């Protein structure tokens, strides 16, 4: 396949530019607070997360649903503690520092599965609006990756040609959907690997 010149770069957030939204889940602080094992934490996350990422429930409702599944009950103090843990655990990865350089020559977009309150938190904490031309999120679209509908929404709203765009994500299932729609893709493993693949696609990284 002959790749077209890259004009647009589309990033996932969690696991690529920022820590994932479940980064707090298995932290020592969370485990000490809830005193449950990884399997139960995973089940509670899988129970509550789909409604949060699709924008059906807010952050407080997510944590209440999470705790209800985990322990059968919840309290406002516990919800506040978990919210605090999430915010302390959320951080930028070393890849975030590439955005100012890339923005000089390319349009930069985000396509992310995220809850509404957490998106607002990330945008403010990491000043993401300084870097991105547009952020498309599952919570605002009501549909999540790897569903192709959210990719089509990005294409329409950003007015981009997938063939002139690179999509970067850390999940193969999301990469597959993007590739089927004509995006050039990079399956993210680490910064060095991503930069190398970017350069192979003709992207000026530095």
For residue 146, cis peptide bond before it (omega within 30 degrees of 0):
yes
Pair of tokens at residue 45: 């996350």
User: Which pLDDT belongs to residue 74?
Assistant: 80
At residue 184, the 3 state secondary structure works out as strand
How far is 172 from 42, CA to CA, in rounded Å? 20
Output the furthest CA–CA distance in the chain (Å, rounded). Answer: 57
Question: What's the pLDDT score for residue 12?
Answer: 98
For residue 72, what pLDDT band results from cuts at 50, 70 and 90? Answer: confident
What pLDDT, on a 0 to 100 scale, did the predictor assign at position 206? 76
* % of the chain exceeding 90 in pLDDT: 95
Distance of CA 136 to the CA centre of its chain: 10
Length reported for the chain: 206
- Per-residue pLDDT averaged across 154-181, rounded? 98
27, 186 Cβ separation under 8 angstroms: no
The pLDDT value recorded for residue 195 is 98
Query: Average per-residue pLDDT in the chain?
Result: 96
User: Which pLDDT band holds residue 3 (cuts at 50, 70, 90)?
Assistant: low
Query: Residue range 49-59: average pLDDT?
Result: 98
Helices (DSSP H) in 72-147: which residue ranges? Answer: 76-89, 99-102, 116-125, 138-141
1 pLDDT higher than 50: no
Q: Is the pLDDT of residue 2 over 50?
A: no
Contact criterion met (CB below 8 Å) for 30 and 85: yes
């Amino acid at each position: 396949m002959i790749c077209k010149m890259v004009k647009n770069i589309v990033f996932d957030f969690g696991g690529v530019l920022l820590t994932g939204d479940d980064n707090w889940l298995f932290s020592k602080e969370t485990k000490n607070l809830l005193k449950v094992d990884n399997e139960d934490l995973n089940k509670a996350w899988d129970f509550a997360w789909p409604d949060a990422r699709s924008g059906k429930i807010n952050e407080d409702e997510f944590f209440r649903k999470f705790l209800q599944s985990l322990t059968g009950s919840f309290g406002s103090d516990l919800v506040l503690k978990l919210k605090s843990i999430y915010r302390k655990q959320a951080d930028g990865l070393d890849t975030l520092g590439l955005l100012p350089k890339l923005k000089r020559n390319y349009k930069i977009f985000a396509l992310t599965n995220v809850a509404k309150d957490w998106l607002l938190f990330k945008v403010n904490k990491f000043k993401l609006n300084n870097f991105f031309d547009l952020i498309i999120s599952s919570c605002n679209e009501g549909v999540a990756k790897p569903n192709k509908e959210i990719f089509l929404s990005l294409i329409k709203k950003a007015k981009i040609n997938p063939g002139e765009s690179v999509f970067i994500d850390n999940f193969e299932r999301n990469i597959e959907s993007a590739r089927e729609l004509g995006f050039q893709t990079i399956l993210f493993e680490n910064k060095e690997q991503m930069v190398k693949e970017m350069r192979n696609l003709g992207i000026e990284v530095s």
